[in-house]
């Protein structure tokens, strides 16, 4: 359910994504597992960013898993859209210097390095 919501959001199928996010939200809120709640914040943050609601997206990204390079990358992109180059550079540097072998790190490392050039 989580990945379906994420993929729909990433592909800009926002009407369907919104429905999937709501279903996922109900499931997560019923269990109250902290890590799932962090993930729950990340997907709507990306959704808000896709709708150009960058301030709302940033508020949600702060509540997401801030140890996720993928979330840090999207947070940097939201800051970039707002013109906040200081935060952009800091976040891309964090990703470039990441020291953990995670799948989502592999997805964004080269993109972050390219953005730093």
User: Which whole-number Å values give the CA distances from 12 to 5, 28, 94, in the listed order?
Assistant: 11, 23, 27
Q: How is residue 71 written in tokens? A: 């979330």
Asked if 60 and 16 sit in the same domain, the reply is yes
- Please state at what angle helix 34-50 crosses helix 14-31, rounded to 10 degrees: 160
Query: Could you say which DSSP state residue 52 is in?
Result: T
Asked if 56 and 108 sit in the same domain, the reply is no
35-67 confidence digits (pLDDT tens): 888 888 999 999 999 999 999 999 999 999 988
Asked if 75 and 89 sit in the same domain, the reply is yes
Statement: residue 101 has pLDDT above 90: no
Asked if 57 and 3 sit in the same domain, the reply is yes
Q: Count structural domains, the chain.
A: 2
d(CA 74, CA 18): 18
Q: How is residue 79 written in tokens? A: 């800051």
Q: How is residue 10 written in tokens? A: 């990433």
Asked if 104 and 92 sit in the same domain, the reply is yes
């Amino acid at each position: 359910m989580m990945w379906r919501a994420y993929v729909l959001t990433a592909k800009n199928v926002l009407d369907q994504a919104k429905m999937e996010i709501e279903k996922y939200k109900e499931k997560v809120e019923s269990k109250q597992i902290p890590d799932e709640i962090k993930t729950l914040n990340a997907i709507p943050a990306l959704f808000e960013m896709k709708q150009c609601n960058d301030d709302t997206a940033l508020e949600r990204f702060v509540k997401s898993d801030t140890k996720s390079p993928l979330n840090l990358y999207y947070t940097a992109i939201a800051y970039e859209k707002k013109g906040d180059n200081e935060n952009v550079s800091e976040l891309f540097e964090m990703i470039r210097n990441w020291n953990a072998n995670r799948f989502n790190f592999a997805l964004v490392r080269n993109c972050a390095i390219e953005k730093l050039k």
